[in-house]
Amino acid sequence: MLLPISRLALVCLASLALSGCLGEESALTAPVSSQVGLARDPKLLVATTRLPVGDPPKKPWFSSERSADLVFAEARLTPPSDSLLGHNGWSIAKVENVDHSNAAQAFAQAAFGHNLLLYIHGYKESFETAATSTIDLSEGIKFGGATGLFTWPSAASTFSYVADRESAMWSRDALEDLLTAIAKTPSGGRIHIVAHSMGTLLTLETLRMLRASGGENAMDRIGAVVLAAPDIDIDLFARGLERLGPDAKKITVISSTNDRALAVSSRLAGGIIRAGAADRERLESLGVRVADASEFGGGIINHDLFLTNKEVQQVIKRAIDRS
């Protein structure tokens, strides 16, 4: 189904929490609260397959090395401030509550009782740049629930495309474990997922796995799924949607036919078009919502419009509100 960009859907991941009790109220009866947001609680929930830098982690907090296990942590944030030297944006003050042994459940517990926005980044991203994008996205759409980041060990290098793709795919099991833990908690929260570029391939493949292992019950907890500039072979994308069945309708694709990063990726792939650069009619025929952002591309690359363009951000917000 095709919608104009002003009415399109985003992806976000709505948060859930672990079964059991929190204080005196059980997860079975705990109401879902959407009124958190970074302004009220400047905290970023982190699930990662990166190795921490130090114990406790010190800046740059997480490396590009692979962790054998999923790691959970909370990044405490410093809100923007104005000073004589100018305006300072959000920054990470410290990373704490690191959990290596029970990371998926720890993340679910930290998100207890709230809807969750989960961001999954793309190629050439460090932990800090991925965290900054997550914060910008959450603040840009004024998300009222908990904000989370799933970050995989990108090498953060222009020449690491193939290595990054393998690291993203290597992280599928960890992401599935995270989504499964959240989906099994009866807190009532919704998981809204927003994925970008190469992260969309990781997301689509993991959702296929989640549906195969957890069925409709697991997928019921997924709210909006927004795939921004998906760097996925269009044929692979179509096959993935087939496996998702009716859950494919949860997906909104933000595409742009003048995305130069995807044009380069297409050449590397032997000329096969990427889903994020396909014509909207072709994407629409696959049963997903489509937001064609081509007209908003005024830069050289046009690959991160969901972070830089207010109109495109509203697509995401409406997708979440509609789910």
In a domain, 74, yes or no: no
Give yes or no for a contact between 148 and 118, defined as CB atoms under 8 angstroms apart.
Answer: yes
If pLDDT is split at 50, 70 and 90, which confidence band does 30 have? Answer: very low
For helices 172-183 and 103-110, what crossing angle results, to 10°?
Answer: 50
The parent domain of residue 121 ranges over 5-43+98-322
Q: Which phi and psi (to 5°) does residue 305 adopt?
A: -60, -25
CA-to-CA distance for 76 and 98, rounded, in angstroms? 12
Domain contains 224: yes
The answer to whether 279 and 316 are in contact (CB under 8 A) is: no
Question: Helices 198-220 and 234-244, interaxial angle, to 10°?
Answer: 10
Please tell me the distance from the alpha carbon of residue 204 to that of residue 185, in angstroms, as a whole number.
Answer: 22
User: Does any domain span residue 214?
Assistant: yes
pLDDT of amino acid 189:
86
Which CATH number fits the domain that encloses residue 200?
A: 3.40.50.1820
What size, in residues, is the chain?
Answer: 323
Q: What number of other Cβ atoms are within 10 A of residue 17's Cβ? A: 27
The predicted pLDDT at position 260 comes to 86
Amino acid 14: pLDDT: 32
| Residue 216 token pair | 């409709």
Task: Decide if 54 is inside a domain.
Answer: no
Strand 251-255 relative to strand 289-292: parallel, antiparallel, unpaired?
A: parallel
Q: Which two tokens stand for residue 317?
A: 């917000």
The pLDDT-based confidence of 32 (bands split at 50, 70, 90) is low
Q: 116: closest CA among 48, 176, 32? A: 32
Residue 86 lies in a domain: no
d(CA 12, CA 186): 19
Mean residue pLDDT across the chain: 87
Query: Does the CA dihedral 35-38-41-47 come out positive or negative?
Result: positive
pLDDT 10s digits, 194-217? 999 999 999 999 999 999 998 888
Q: What is the pLDDT of residue 34?
A: 54
Give a yes or no: residue 60 inside a domain: no
Residue 64 counted as domain residue? no
Name the domain count of the chain.
1
23 inside domain: yes
pLDDT for 301 equals 61
The separation between CA 224 and the C-alpha centre of its own chain, rounded to angstroms, equals 11
Q: Is the model's pLDDT at 296 over the cut of 60? A: yes
- Write the pLDDT tens digit of every residue in 62-101: 999 999 999 999 999 999 987 666 678 899 999 999 999 9
3-class DSSP assignment, residue 189: coil
> Residue 15: its pLDDT value, please?
33
